Structure 1
Amino acid sequence: MRMEKISVAGGTLLALASLGVGTALAQDTQSQDSSPVLDVITVTGTRIVRDGYEAPTPVSVLGVEQLSEMATTNLADSVNRLPALSGGRSSHNYSGNISSGTAGINTLNLRGLGANRTLVLLDGKRMAPATLGTGDNATGAPDANAIPTALIQRVEIVTGGASAVYGSDALAGVVNFILDKEFTGIKGTAEVGQTTYHDNDSQLYSLAVGAPFAESRGHLLFSAEWAGSDEIRGNNRPWNRRSYQLINNPNSSNTGTTPRLIKVFDVGMSQATQGGLITGCYFGAAIAPTAAGCGLRGTDFVGNGTPMPFNFGSIISNPYMSGGDWERSRNDNLQSLTMQMERSTAFGRASFDLTEDTTIYTELGYSKTRAINHHALRSFDFNLKIPVSNAFIPEEIRQTMLANNITSLQMGTTNADLPAVQGDNTRTFKRMVLGSEGNFQIGGDDWSWDAYVQRSSTDALQTAPGNRINANYTKAINSVRDASNRIVCSVNADAPTANDDPACVPYNPFGVGVNSQAVIDYITETGRADQELIQDVAAVSASGQPFSSWAGPISLAFGLEHRREEVKGTASALDEAGAFFAGNWHASHGKYNVTEGFVETVVPLAADVPAAQALDLNAAARWTDYSTSGDVVTWKLGTTWQPIDDLRFRVTRSRDIRAPSLGDLFNAGASGGSNFTDPRDGSQSVITSVTTGNPELVPEEADTTGLGVVLSPRFMPGFTMSIDYYRIEIDGAIASLGAQENANRCEQGVTALCRYVIRGADGKIVTVYNQPQNILSQEATGFDVEMSYTVTVGPGDMTLRALGTYFDKLLTKDTRTIDGSGLNAGGAGIGLGNALASPKYRYLVSLGYNWEPVSATLTMRGVSSGKYNNDFIVCNDDCPPTTTSSPYQTIDSNHIAGARYFDLSLNGKLLDTGAEVFFVVDNLLNKAPARVAGTRGGGYYNGQDSADYYDRLGRYYRAGVRFQF
């Protein structure tokens, strides 16, 4: 393989992401003058194959050596460390969302624009999406868990719009996992890991085999892999010993003075405890509870139903409070910090040279991933009305009620005797490819071609064990004593009627450990939905150099592709009926077809002339026709100019799209309870929010501009640096307003949305429907900086690498403009809705030293400090007037700390054995995550929201052995 100096970076100059988490190419042996050299690798930022060509769109490369240094048990975790990727999902991003079914998937999110705008490819070919989703930014994205890691040669990241080259969903860029199709031999890995807290045990075992046959005319590949990690149930980390939340300030008013939002420690719930909390009383014919005159308010029922006084604390802002008996009413410390994960993959490939110019091949892939969150959600109630006739009311409480004319109790409970609702998701991915490739000549010009058909599918089985059947719960909680003084469900108390339920077992809401398994079995059941997402692709393409200009040969690539996407599924009868507390999935059915053709060219405009050692024009266009929304044209224009050896400039301008996914279009709906404020009267309640697809959606459109410069000064051999600016402007962005926003806008006069807001006979909102729409405009601007320097020091080679991404703007424009750049709150941001969000900058820096047979790499990775919302006004006792509907809020502190983590990787080759041992420590200093207040819309306090950008696990050790023969 031809060698070149380090200035070649496959289109982005070393793409530096090698930095300990880097994306660089593997370094080869140095030449006699100690100048470092790299293998030239053809990258796929373009369909044009030109040895040594550097594309105008930046392409970063994460090589197999850098993947080995990180030694993560999941390839996506390694890729997600690159600064250009922000906010991707992994098993460490705790997800208590039952309805979306996204828990456990690994997605990649370039530019913070959403995983559904990053096209993920396996050897240049699409993969079926992993989940139907419900308005989540992972909707339509494939699961990187399905990648056959053991045979990946490198990962290429195109950081810029590439729809004209690769098609829809490449609006933010492309992540392409490249297979080592020529691997020969046997290699394997065995790895174990554990946190410094002796939990989250992980294992990884892989084996890959490659061998020629038929006198090397054919080649066989096979790989198998199994990886698993334990769930961390509860949160016993030191940083979570005191809960931390952002709440509405109960002492604030619209006239100002004190801030509307305050951050407090020691947070629990003011409206519920695990065994039931009396929060008010009903007197006589009263239709609303009151705390006045209710001497029973603040009675908490603990083990065996024992009543105890409950201290509501010094600050109460329903449903939260600070202080008092907060530890008795908190639930976040019971929830799972990470999920239990198990992943297995198998991959096989066979190729055969029919002739010297024609090769046929077939590929078979299989992956199964199971993610279990045993404590995803409590089935809570804040407004239970328990009448004095309830059979389980302790007698002393009943006597107090009778003496004070209290007809019913208002209670809140998290139903500790009922199991937590679990999220148990199993995804089975299958892929089959049959193709042929080769070369031919026309008029003396060499051409290459490729044609294939592919079917890939994901069977996404979503289950929710322990899900509460609401109707059964209502019947069971309403108990009385019958004529025989037996405790029975009230529906069975009188003479037999049509409303009787012989299976009903009465439920005791007073205390913990007071209900039998028979009661639990009656109230709970497993929710279930099985969705199959199928993708069929047929494609043909060719490339060659049919013409020449004064500056060199003109390259041309063109092709056709037809794709069919389909979803079909089933759901349980109870889910279809909306009978559960969470989930309530519906079977989705739908399909669409896509036909497209593309052409791309590279035209040399100048070569080896003064002020232009190289000047190339790159242009591409793609016509795409969707069966659901018609046709659309995408295009790209780019140029690279190298005036001298040391300097290269690149410019691109493109029109890109993201088409609506199967979930966006055809999701039949999922529903769940959410904490809700009625905009009509300000009352708070838990309502049902239902999200469905919208078949009238059209593709999002984006205009992308990129400007970059690459420096490789001759006076500093081994040094390379690139700086790239990007601007992405999106129109018609697909988004769901959400239940609260739909209701708010309806009440503000947007009558078209009122059809989604369903009120009961009493005027109270009971259900809000939610559909995605082409409603937003968004804009992202920023800079990528990459640097690499390799030099001989003593007996070995030292490599310094750095990569950073600066998010200058992340604008979301709806009724107002929100800038999400510099927001570190993940889901905790207030008023963000569908807004884009990311820390202001992310970075990676690594220092490595290689002295055969040992090597060591120290990596520093981090994020900037940030805010909850850029529109918040920080004040203490001099706050301006505001209202809850104002475009801003006042807050006592709007700062979220940044973080810096150090990782250490040590590798040692066992001489003459083909094996090496490795030891990796992530978060070497065991740095705690920043304090980020919990999400306020979750119904109850569910823990600090620091999963997206911070390490929540703590110091993590991994060790293992690799071999290759």
Structure 2
Amino acid sequence: MSKELMKLRRSALMGSAATLLASFALGAGVTGASAQDADSDFDMDLEEVTVTGSRIVRRDLTAPSPISTVGAEEFQLTGAQNVEQVLATLPQTIPGFGGSSNNPGDGTATVDLRGLGSFRTLVLVNGRRYLQSRQSGTVDLNTIPSTLIERVEVVTGGASAVYGSDAMSGVVNFVMKDDYEGLEVSGQYDTTVHGDAEKYNIDATMGGNFADGRGNATLFVNYAKRKSLMQGDRKFSTYALGEGGDPDRLPGEAYGAGTGLGGFGSSGIPGTRTFTRPTVNPGTAGEYLLGRFNSDGSGAPYSAASDSFNYAPDNFLQLPQERWMASAMAHYQINDSVRMYTEATFVSNKVPQELAPTPAFTTVEINPDSPFFTADVQEAWRSLRTLDPNDPNSGWEDENVFAFVGRRMVENGPRQALDTRDAFRILVGFDGEIGDGWSYDVSYSYARVDNFQFLKNDVSASRFVQAIAVTDDGTACQDPSGGCVPLNIFGAGNISQEAVDFVNISATNVTQIETQNIQGIVSGTLGDWTGAGEVGLAIGVEYRKDESAFTPDTFLASGDVLGFNAGEPTVGGFDTYEVFAEMALPLITGAPMAENLEASLAARYADYSTAGSVWSYAGGLTWAPVADISLRAQYQRAVRAPNVLELFQGNANGFPGASDPCSDATASPSATLISLCEATGVPAGQTGNFTQANGQIEGIFGGNPDLFEESADTYTFGAVITPEAIPGFTMTVDYYDITIDDAISTLGGGVNNILDICYNTVQDLNSIYCQAVTRRLDGNVDTVFAGNANIGQIKTSGVDLQMSYGMDVDFGFFEGGSSIDFNFVGTHVINNEVTPDLFVGTVNDCEGTYGNTCGEPDPQYRFNLRTTMTNGPLQLSLNWRWLDSVEDDQIKNAGLTRADLPVPTLKAENYFDLSFTYDVNENLQMYGGARNIFNNKPTFVGDSQEQANTFPETYDAIGTRVFLGARVRF
């Protein structure tokens, strides 16, 4: 299962963020400012602005929903080469794909508000839709230049009524610099204290006015390179750890010792494991069940603890990347009423992935008389021949036998994938004043992404099976067609280069995505209806057309692959016509206990060619009883129509972590469970007695054209406090509650959930969940069908707390004293649960947990505190990020106790980052810093990990990084 689908089962507010505004800022570069009315001590005119979350342009905007802003300086203070490095630490997000997402991963970087899935988060640039990088409609953050960002505005709690259905969990809007004058060149180098995993970044921004200041053009170019780091380059991730693994197969410092973990891995081994196990040397002292093969063709029993293959070193811990980017923006004031603007972006992004050599798990035909085996192993195989040895006409002596095997194709080399995404977007628009306080904005955009995925060192399933069935002398294939070369998989190192060349295949997959968007908005005021201020109104229409096609390689489409996930074509599209309106209605101002009272309303009607007509609407209220305090509340009804991938995805396989309730993972199985397991394919007497072959179980995933829209009810209540008695202090606190009904996800919420519901809950062979499970002859699960479906319900609730305070002090390194700013962002997740099927009633409780059911860690408490001192040309900043401990989700959801698990809890983590900027002169600035300065290593995770023995996008598995950069301005 993809990481995005896994994340459907959790919702959270991730703790961290630097220089977040306590509520939101009205303008760039403002930190610690409140989104309330401008501070009454300020005697200044506020510019008319449109802040994300509303289409209405007016002054003193007060937001009914939580909005946070990240200033441009945050990207510099963190040394972020890619924007997801900052967004992944925001309190409203859970980490999506990033630079350590090797498996799962697809070369993109995403943002996931509230942990509800990146496909429910709408990413905008300058308030408009941007490049889609997947058929799910998500945006690859690699396509957004961090240097060009003026600020990032984050609206959470749903915004479908204002922006469209895919804004169900909220909006992330990147406001870019579009009025630049001069030339700025910057460069940055980033490495670890080990001197590896380097990153390089070079930017150039240039711009200027023309036509006597009526126009401006800005051009930005970027080159970024990120070098690879393998899991084998860190002791932490050198060995794939598992529960009950061999403690002797560990790094030199005995990582994992004492926790019940040891070196584990895959049952697909270089010597070949056979799951069909004849008895060797029966009736003698040397009798054993055949489990694996030595290089000389002799056999041996198999031990999961000592014989499993350590696949970890061949995986990336940091994915390499090479990116070229160019962006141009221009605007020109044609006359007093018409301004033309345009944006153009081109990105070429290459991100490789690398996995261990192909694990070939399949049923093969074996010639027992093959010289690949020693005599005793030949006799063992012959015992499986099924024809009558007493009938000379039966051909018994020449009969092949069938066996299910697992072979790690190390001779074929590691599996490699290269994702190349070439993308461009062009937008043209006109805006201006109509008169009497009314304005308009009309725009058209076209975007296209071409994703070429090149796969190397896979193995053809048909050729693999063909080449194993050899003649009695082992010199030829029984079926010599196609230039077949005998393949001796029985023992490590026995495969010839000629055999490798015969079974090796490469593949090329192509995905093309096109999006067109036309939008027109008129906004203005309707007059003062109540004596409290002008009534604001925005009305708009929108047309959007999404088309995409995934064309897999012939081998992948046919399923004739053993190493990469097979997949069928995905072709489809939809268009939608939408009408929306928004109103801001001032009710009271300047009255006792009502310094300000304002209502807001929004609604959107959309007619989809696939889902039909849907409505989204919202209503909110802001009330400031006194100037120092403002209260806000909002209800939103958000509706999301299924996207192209959810509707039309061709069946594809994946390998998520899952536990088989019929294996020895379940002690003392009940009679009902035994009966059900045997009815679904477990051999008699083996329920609870056999060891699950692998921690990952193959799932079959695919689209469903019968999906219908999902809906969400969102409630938010909050307060903004700016006490006059404490100048420079602001605080916001917000409660959120989100319930998604008919949520679009995989059947039952995924492979692990399907197995749990089938065998532990419904226990009905005829249920859709049990019918989704197929098993091999040895009892192990073969596949689980987990196609898309409208599942039961997702619920999440919590509280966000943000505080900022600034003060001046007399000390510093330079004359003139210093200013010190504190910015705190914290969150408490109260509830995070998924009900895969309302009729079944199983509830997965995910707050404060991690694991195969809930996915990425979801700490109940986390916070981020940044302290920044500015003294003359020098700025120093310390960021402290704290993540609460989390427990294995099997404790809450599977009835296990802490004593049942070797790693029941991942400890709380503290990360400290230190950075500086120094203005050498008016033209040159130096900056740098270190992240994770105390080199914290995460707690080891066993079977419930994501990758690299941990969750590498949540916990730092690479170690302390240092960066240094310079910026030159002309």
TM range (shorter): 0.7 to 0.9
The alignment yields a C-alpha RMSD, in angstroms, of 3.6
Map of 2:118 onto structure 1: 115
Measured in 2, the distance between the counterparts of 1:928 and 1:17 equals 21
Letter in structure 2 aligned against 1:110 = L
Is 1:347 aligned to residue 343 of structure 2? no
- Superposed, which structure 2 residues align to 1:125-274 within 5 Å? 125-132=128-135, 139-240=136-237, 243-246=240-243, 264-269=260-265, 271-274=267-270
Map of 1:709 onto structure 2: 719
Relative to 1, partners in 2 of residues 1:690 and 1:279: Cα closer, same or farther, differing over 3 Å? Answer: closer
C-alpha distance after superposition, 1:190-214 (max 9, x if no partner): 1111122222111111111111112
Map of 1:452 onto structure 2: 443
- Superposed, which structure 2 residues align to 1:13-32 within 5 Å? 17-19=17-19, 26-27=29-30
Match of 2:547 among 547, 563, 566: 566
Relative to 1, partners in 2 of residues 1:742 and 1:720: Cα closer, same or farther, differing over 3 Å? Answer: closer
Does structure 1 retain, via aligned residues, the 8 Å contact 2:17–2:86? no
What SS class does the counterpart of residue 235 from structure 1 fall into?
Answer: helix
What SS class does the counterpart of residue 645 from structure 2 fall into?
Answer: helix
Quote the offset at 1:892 in angstroms.
5.9
Letter in structure 2 aligned against 1:199 = D
Measured in 2, the distance between the counterparts of 1:205 and 1:162 equals 36
Measured in 1, the distance between the counterparts of 2:294 and 2:634 equals 66
Measured in 2, the distance between the counterparts of 1:539 and 1:290 equals 81
Does structure 2 retain, via aligned residues, the 8 Å contact 1:21–1:82? no
Does structure 1 retain, via aligned residues, the 8 Å contact 2:299–2:377? no
Does structure 1 retain, via aligned residues, the 8 Å contact 2:278–2:381? no
Does structure 1 retain, via aligned residues, the 8 Å contact 2:773–2:784? yes
Match of 1:720 among 703, 722, 730: 730
Measured in 2, the distance between the counterparts of 1:503 and 1:175 equals 55
Letter in structure 2 aligned against 1:520 = V
Relative to 1, partners in 2 of residues 1:631 and 1:248: Cα closer, same or farther, differing over 3 Å? Answer: farther
Between stretches 847-856 and 412-421, larger displacement belongs to: 412-421
Map of 1:915 onto structure 2: 924
Is 1:554 aligned to residue 535 of structure 2? yes
Quote the offset at 1:223 in angstroms.
0.7
- Superposed, which structure 2 residues align to 1:439-838 within 5 Å? 439-441=433-435, 445-482=436-473, 487-492=475-480, 501-549=481-529, 550-581=531-562, 582-672=564-654, 679=677, 680-682=680-682, 689-737=699-747, 738-739=750-751, 745=758, 748-752=764-768, 768-794=784-810, 795-813=817-835, 814=837, 815-825=840-850, 828-829=851-852, 831-832=853-854, 838=858
Quote the offset at 1:163 in angstroms.
0.7
Quote the offset at 1:294 in angstroms.
4.0
Quote the offset at 1:920 in angstroms.
1.7
Quote the offset at 1:905 in angstroms.
0.5
C-alpha distance after superposition, 1:300-345 (max 9, x if no partner): 536xx69797883xxxxxxx43xxx36x732223322122112221
Measured in 2, the distance between the counterparts of 1:455 and 1:851 equals 46
Relative to 1, partners in 2 of residues 1:415 and 1:53: Cα closer, same or farther, differing over 3 Å? Answer: same
Letter in structure 2 aligned against 1:822 = E
Is 1:96 aligned to residue 103 of structure 2? yes
- Superposed, which structure 2 residues align to 1:326-405 within 5 Å? 329-375=309-355, 378-381=358-361, 386-393=366-373
Is 1:80 aligned to residue 83 of structure 2? no
Does structure 2 retain, via aligned residues, the 8 Å contact 1:36–1:718? no
Does structure 2 retain, via aligned residues, the 8 Å contact 1:379–1:468? no
Quote the offset at 1:564 in angstroms.
0.7
Does structure 1 retain, via aligned residues, the 8 Å contact 2:32–2:823? no
Quote the offset at 1:479 in angstroms.
2.6
What SS class does the counterpart of residue 313 from structure 2 fall into?
Answer: helix
Quote the offset at 1:235 in angstroms.
2.8
Quote the offset at 1:769 in angstroms.
3.8
Does structure 2 retain, via aligned residues, the 8 Å contact 1:96–1:423? no
Does structure 2 retain, via aligned residues, the 8 Å contact 1:931–1:946? no
- Superposed, which structure 2 residues align to 1:833-872 within 5 Å? 838-869=858-889, 870-872=892-894
Quote the offset at 1:118 in angstroms.
1.0
Q: Which runs of 5+ in 2 are unaligned?
A: 1-14, 34-38, 247-257, 387-399, 663-676, 684-691, 811-816
Letter in structure 1 aligned against 2:108 = I
Measured in 1, the distance between the counterparts of 2:31 and 2:962 equals 29
Match of 1:43 among 37, 43, 51: 51
C-alpha distance after superposition, 1:442-461 (max 9, x if no partner): xxx21111001111122222
Quote the offset at 1:799 in angstroms.
0.7
What SS class does the counterpart of residue 527 from structure 2 fall into?
Answer: strand
Does structure 1 retain, via aligned residues, the 8 Å contact 2:357–2:409? no
Relative to 1, partners in 2 of residues 1:843 and 1:46: Cα closer, same or farther, differing over 3 Å? Answer: same
Measured in 2, the distance between the counterparts of 1:764 and 1:234 equals 29
Quote the offset at 1:558 in angstroms.
0.8
Does structure 1 retain, via aligned residues, the 8 Å contact 2:205–2:219? yes
What SS class does the counterpart of residue 236 from structure 2 fall into?
Answer: helix
Measured in 2, the distance between the counterparts of 1:334 and 1:248 equals 19
Give the count of matched residue pairs.
873
Quote the offset at 1:723 in angstroms.
0.5
Between stretches 263-272 and 902-911, larger displacement belongs to: 263-272
Map of 1:422 onto structure 2: 416
Relative to 1, partners in 2 of residues 1:844 and 1:353: Cα closer, same or farther, differing over 3 Å? Answer: same
Does structure 2 retain, via aligned residues, the 8 Å contact 1:608–1:614? yes
Letter in structure 2 aligned against 1:816 = G
Relative to 1, partners in 2 of residues 1:751 and 1:874: Cα closer, same or farther, differing over 3 Å? Answer: closer
Task: Give the structure-1-normalised TM-score.
Answer: 0.83
Map of 1:947 onto structure 2: 952
Is 1:906 aligned to residue 916 of structure 2? yes
What SS class does the counterpart of residue 422 from structure 2 fall into?
Answer: strand
C-alpha distance after superposition, 1:680-713 (max 9, x if no partner): 2446678864322111112210010000011111
Map of 2:72 onto structure 1: 64
Measured in 2, the distance between the counterparts of 1:633 and 1:780 equals 22
C-alpha distance after superposition, 1:36-81 (max 9, x if no partner): 9999775222111222212111111111112211121101211221
Measured in 1, the distance between the counterparts of 2:344 and 2:125 equals 12
Relative to 1, partners in 2 of residues 1:428 and 1:76: Cα closer, same or farther, differing over 3 Å? Answer: same
Does structure 2 retain, via aligned residues, the 8 Å contact 1:545–1:553? yes
Quote the offset at 1:277 in angstroms.
4.7
Letter in structure 1 aligned against 2:439 = S
Does structure 2 retain, via aligned residues, the 8 Å contact 1:842–1:864? yes
Quote the offset at 1:502 in angstroms.
3.9
Is 1:959 aligned to residue 950 of structure 2? no
Measured in 1, the distance between the counterparts of 2:827 and 2:70 equals 16
Task: Give the structure-2-normalised TM-score.
Answer: 0.83
What SS class does the counterpart of residue 547 from structure 1 fall into?
Answer: coil
Letter in structure 1 aligned against 2:791 = I
Letter in structure 2 aligned against 1:952 = A
Does structure 1 retain, via aligned residues, the 8 Å contact 2:463–2:484? yes
Relative to 1, partners in 2 of residues 1:920 and 1:934: Cα closer, same or farther, differing over 3 Å? Answer: farther
Letter in structure 2 aligned against 1:657 = V
Between stretches 567-576 and 195-204, larger displacement belongs to: 567-576
Quote the offset at 1:734 in angstroms.
0.5
What SS class does the counterpart of residue 727 from structure 1 fall into?
Answer: strand
Relative to 1, partners in 2 of residues 1:378 and 1:195: Cα closer, same or farther, differing over 3 Å? Answer: farther
Quote the offset at 1:224 in angstroms.
1.0
C-alpha distance after superposition, 1:932-964 (max 9, x if no partner): 22348x9xxx64132242111111111111122
Measured in 1, the distance between the counterparts of 2:86 and 2:317 equals 20
